Structure 1
Amino acid sequence: MGFSKEKIGMVGSGSWATAMIKILGDNTTQKDILWWIRKDADLQYIKSYRHNPSYLSAVEVRVEAENLYLDAKSVVQKSDIVVLNTPSAYLKDALKDVQPSDFKDKIVVSAIKGIIPDENLIVGEYLTRKYNISLENIVVVGGPCHAEEVSAEKLSYLTLASKDQGNAERVAEYFRNRYINSIISADTFGVEYGAVLKNIYALAGGVCHGLGFGDNFLAVLISNAIREMEVCLTAIDPEADREINASAYLGDLLVTAYSQFSRNRTFGHMIGKGYTVQSAQLEMNMVAEGYYASACIQNIIHRYHLEMPICNMVYQILYRKQDAATEVKKLVSKLS
C-alpha cells in the first residue's frame, strides 16, 4: 500500500517526539515531515545543525528547514496526519490556537501516554470532546518503545490502535523501518489506558526499589500489576478483543518498570529515597506521566468500584503525603 507525498506533522519536541522524527526520517515511504518546536532557540539550532540540542542531541533529524515551526496551528493545518507528542499536562497549551476545523478530515495520532490532568480524560477522549474528532480518525501509539533505544536503532515494536484498521495501517506504514516493527490493534481504549496505568506501576516499582526492595519483590509487584491492569481495562471496555499479555500491555509495563531509561521508575525511586514530589520533579527536569495519572485514575477506580491496591498506594504517597515505607508495608499483604 503506498501513499504519495502526504504531510505528517509532529506537535512536540521532547525526547519521544525527536525519536519519532528519526523513525519517520529513516522510513523510505515518500512523505513530507513538519515539526512544531516549542522553543525558538531549539528551532534555530535544529535548522542549522539537524540535531535537537535539548533532547536526544546525538540524533540527526531529517526535517527541511522550511518545515520547522513555532506555530502548532500551522503544522496542524498543513498536515494530512497530525502526531501529538507532548507531555499530557502541556497538550492544551500546545493546541491553544488550534480550532476543531483545523483537524477536519485529518488522521490524528496520539503518542501521549498520559491523562489530561484537569480534564481527567485520556487524550483520545479529550480530542473527541474538544475538537469533534471521530474515534475512527484517531490512532493511538503504544509501546514498548523507549526513545533512547530508538535513537540507538535497537529493534523495537510499536502498537498502533484505531477503531478504523485502515487508518491504523496507513499510519503504521510511516512508522516502520529496519529497526521498528508495527503491530495493528483495534483496542484504542485498552492501549491508551494501559499506557497510562503502566506508568503508575513503574512508579510504584521505583518507590519499592528506593526503599531497598529487590528484584524478587519487584517481580511479584509487576505480576500483580498486570492483573490489576486487566481488571481496570475490562471495566472500561469489556467488549474489546484484548490479550493482556501482548506487548502493548505486559510488554510496555515490563520495560517501563525495569528499564534504566524509565522516567517513572526513576521518579518513584527518588520518592522511595525520601525526595518530596517537588524536589524530584525539579531534579529530573522531565515529566513523569505517572504522577499526573495517579490522581486521574482515582476517578476510574471510584466510578467502577474497582479494587486497585497498587494504584491506591501510589496515590496515597504522592497526593496524600503518606509515608512510603508504611504504604508499601500495607500493600505487601494484598499481593499474591
Structure 2
Amino acid sequence: MVMAEKIAVLGAGSWGSTLANMLVENGHSVMLWARNQEQVDRLNTEHRNPEYMKDLVYSDQLVATTDMRAAVKDASVLLIVIPTKGLRQVAHQLDQLLGELRQRPLIIHATKGLEQNTYKRPSEMLEEEIAPDHRRGIVVLSGPSHAEDVAIKDMTAVTAASTVLDNAKEVQKLFSNSYFRVYTNDDVIGAEFGAALKNIIAIGAGALQGLGYHDNARAALITRGLAEIRRLGVAFGANPMTFIGLSGVGDLVVTATSKNSRNWRAGYQLGQGQKLADVIQNMGMVIEGVYTTKAAYELSRKRQVKMPITEALYEVLYSGKDIKDAISQLMSRDLTSEIE
C-alpha cells in the first residue's frame, strides 16, 4: 500500500489535469495549479475542464487554485506539466517559493520539448532554475500516453527516468495502478530526447495522411524518424537502448498514429493545404513539435548529425517549402545503408 502524499500539480492542460485526477484516485492529496481563474472555478464547482478534456468528470476531491504558494505549501512531490516555452519562468517562480517555504520536494516533469535558442532539455532548465537545496531530485515522466486514453482508464505504460534510481522508483509507486504501469530508467537524456523529437515525426506522419499517403509511407517515416531521434540523442550521451523503449519508439508510435495527438493533427492540416499560422491559431493548444523542429534542426547542424526528415520539415514550417517538394527530395536523396 502506497502512503498518501501531498502532491502539487503545476499545469492544468489535458495531461496535467488528467494526471492530477489519477493521483487523487490513487489516494493522494492533490492541488492543481493553473493561471486561469475561470478554469479553476469550473474545476472546483463543476469538476470539468472542457477546454482541454471535454468528456472527463474530475474527482470532487481534486482541488484547483491560481495560488501557486497554496498549491506548493507542504507538498512532498511537485509534478510540472507546463509547455516548454513557459517552463523556465514557472521554475524560477517555484524556486523562490520553495526557498521561502523551506521545502525540498521531489520534482517530476512531463514536459516534452527543447528550449528555443539554448536547446536545453526540460530537466536542464529545472536544474538551472531550482536550487539543489530546494529539490530532492528531478524525474522525467514520459511514454505513450494520450490524456484521453488515460482518462478512460485504457491500459498505459510509461517511463520514470532519473539519474537517481530511488527517485524513479518513488514515482513508479506514486503513479502505478491497475491501468497505469510505470517502468524505471536511469537515462534522462534519452527519455527527454525521445519525448521531444517524436513530436517532429508526428507532424510529418499527419502531413503524409493529409496528402493521401498510406500505411507503407507512415511506417517508413516512423522507422527512419526513430533513426534520426536515436542519432541526435546518442550524440548527447543517451543510451541507444532507450529509443526502443517506452519513451522512444513507444511514444513515437502513439503520437505519430493517433488523431488524439495535436502534432499529428497539425501535420494533417498542413498536408491538407492549410497555412501554419492558421493551424496554430485553430489548435488552441501548444503544438510542441513546431518549435521542437526548429530547435532540433539547429542543434543537428551544430553537432553535424544527419536528420533529413527534420530538415525537410523545418524547410516546410519555417521556409515555406512546398511539402510535396520536400517529400520528393527526401525520396531522391543518395541511396545509403539502413545502419548509417
The TM-score normalised by the length of structure 1 is 0.91
Give the corresponding residue for 2:326: 327
Give the corresponding residue for 1:206: 206
Give the corresponding residue for 2:25: 26
Q: Does 1:91 align with 2:90?
A: no
User: Could you say if the C-alpha distance between residues 153 and 145 of structure 1 is closer, same or farther in structure 2, counting changes exceeding 3 Å?
Assistant: same
Give the corresponding residue for 2:76: 80
Measured in 2, the distance between the counterparts of 1:137 and 1:278 equals 39
Would the aligned equivalents of 1:136 and 1:164 in 2 still touch at CA under 8 Å? no
Taking only the aligned residue pairs, the percentage that are identical comes to 28
Query: Which deviates more from structure 2 when the two are superposed, residues 68-77 or residues 294-303?
Result: 68-77
**1:333 CA displacement:** 2.7
Q: Does 1:14 align with 2:16?
A: no
Give the corresponding residue for 2:251: 252
Measured in 2, the distance between the counterparts of 1:120 and 1:197 equals 12
Q: 1:55 aligns with which of 52, 57, 61?
A: 52
Q: Which amino acid aligns with 1:54?
A: E
Give the corresponding residue for 1:293: 292
User: Could you say if the C-alpha distance between residues 200 and 9 of structure 1 is closer, same or farther in structure 2, counting changes exceeding 3 Å?
Assistant: same
**Alignment partner of 2:223: what SS?**
helix
Q: Which amino acid aligns with 2:138?
A: I
User: Could you say if the C-alpha distance between residues 97 and 233 of structure 1 is closer, same or farther in structure 2, counting changes exceeding 3 Å?
Assistant: closer
Give the corresponding residue for 1:37: 34
Measured in 1, the distance between the counterparts of 2:257 and 2:276 equals 21
Across the aligned residues of Structure 1 and Structure 2, the Cα RMSD in angstroms comes to 2.2
The TM-score normalised by the length of structure 2 is 0.90
Would the aligned equivalents of 1:142 and 1:160 in 2 still touch at CA under 8 Å? yes
Would the aligned equivalents of 2:234 and 2:240 in 1 still touch at CA under 8 Å? no
**Alignment partner of 2:158: what SS?**
strand
Q: Deviations over 1:278-327 (max 9, x none)?
A: 10011111221100101111232023210010111111111112111111
Aligned length, in residue pairs: 331
Q: Which runs of 5+ in 1 are unaligned?
A: none
Would the aligned equivalents of 1:12 and 1:86 in 2 still touch at CA under 8 Å? yes
**1:212 CA displacement:** 2.1
Give the corresponding residue for 1:153: 153
Q: Deviations over 1:168-219 (max 9, x none)?
A: 1111211111110111111111001111110001111112222222211111
Q: Which runs of 5+ in 2 are unaligned?
A: none
**Alignment partner of 2:94: what SS?**
coil
Give the corresponding residue for 1:219: 219
Q: Deviations over 1:65-108 (max 9, x none)?
A: 7x422022442343211111122123345456333561752211
User: Could you say if the C-alpha distance between residues 303 and 100 of structure 1 is closer, same or farther in structure 2, counting changes exceeding 3 Å?
Assistant: farther
Would the aligned equivalents of 1:33 and 1:63 in 2 still touch at CA under 8 Å? no
Would the aligned equivalents of 2:266 and 2:287 in 1 still touch at CA under 8 Å? yes
**Alignment partner of 1:112: what SS?**
coil
Q: Deviations over 1:82-135 (max 9, x none)?
A: 111122123345456333561752211111111233543111011111223499
Would the aligned equivalents of 2:194 and 2:243 in 1 still touch at CA under 8 Å? no
Measured in 1, the distance between the counterparts of 2:270 and 2:42 equals 35
Measured in 1, the distance between the counterparts of 2:94 and 2:144 equals 30
Measured in 2, the distance between the counterparts of 1:210 and 1:81 equals 42
**1:57 CA displacement:** 3.1
Measured in 2, the distance between the counterparts of 1:136 and 1:186 equals 16
Measured in 2, the distance between the counterparts of 1:162 and 1:198 equals 20
**Alignment partner of 1:209: what SS?**
helix
Measured in 1, the distance between the counterparts of 2:257 and 2:166 equals 34
User: Could you say if the C-alpha distance between residues 205 and 258 of structure 1 is closer, same or farther in structure 2, counting changes exceeding 3 Å?
Assistant: same
Measured in 2, the distance between the counterparts of 1:57 and 1:173 equals 29
